[in-house]
Amino acid sequence: MDSLFQVEWTPVASGGGAALDGVNVWRADGGQVPSALHPLLGAMQVESGRLAVVTRGAVSVAGEDVTDLAGAAAWGLVRSAQSEDPGRFVLVDVVDGEVEAAVGLALATGEPQVAVRGGRCFVPRLKAAVVAESGPSSVFGESVLITGASGALGGLVA
């Protein structure tokens, strides 16, 4: 299967950090999704410059647990906005440390989505998923009765 992919967080160089001049920083509060997204939507409409959206534990790097579901929803919202206005929004996820330093590191990568872990930056990349080969399913035994197969779709499947 050549069409299955998975996200892999890949380390990238940050170049030591960038200045936050002209960048507005919005921090997700880690609350419920509606209460987190409402202020974010407001910030996206009001702020005219670049907006760095900072979450804490909203993405999983190297098998970590996602601890901020509202932040994960914010990532989804901002990803959509990034496709409409590239370069304006930067997503930064941290788990510890100083937020301003993490945002500076993330901005220095030039990437739109960055997870900062222990002073290192990681970005999402798609890689081919490893799929185990398997034989035919034995869930149904040897015989299967298909009903409704007389239509166009059923004829293709049956």
Task: Report pLDDT digits (tens) over 66-107.
Answer: 988 888 988 998 899 899 888 888 999 998 878 889 999 999
Query: What is the pLDDT, as a whole number, of residue 123?
Result: 97
Taking only the tens place, the pLDDT of each residue in 100-136 is 899 999 999 999 999 999 999 999 999 998 888 777 7
Residue 107: burial class (beta carbons within 10 Å; 0-12, 13-18, 19+): buried
Tell me, what's the pLDDT at 34?
A: 66
Domains and CATH numbers, the chain: 5-128 (3.40.50.11460)
pLDDT for the residue numbered 93: 96
What average pLDDT score do residues 128-155 get? 72
Mean pLDDT to the nearest integer, 50-63: 91
Q: What is the pLDDT of residue 36?
A: 63
Question: Which positions ≥6 away from 77 have C-beta within 8 Å?
Answer: 37, 40, 41
Residue 28's pLDDT is: 75
Q: What is the pLDDT of residue 153?
A: 66
Q: Is the pLDDT of residue 141 over 80?
A: no
d(CA 7, CA 122): 12
Please give the pLDDT value at position 24. 81
- Mean pLDDT score, 138-149: 69
CA torsion 106-108-113-115 (nearest 10°) is -30
Q: What is the mean pLDDT of residues 135-157?
A: 68
Report the mean per-residue pLDDT for the chain: 83
Work out the number of other CB atoms within 10 angstroms of the CB of residue 62.
9
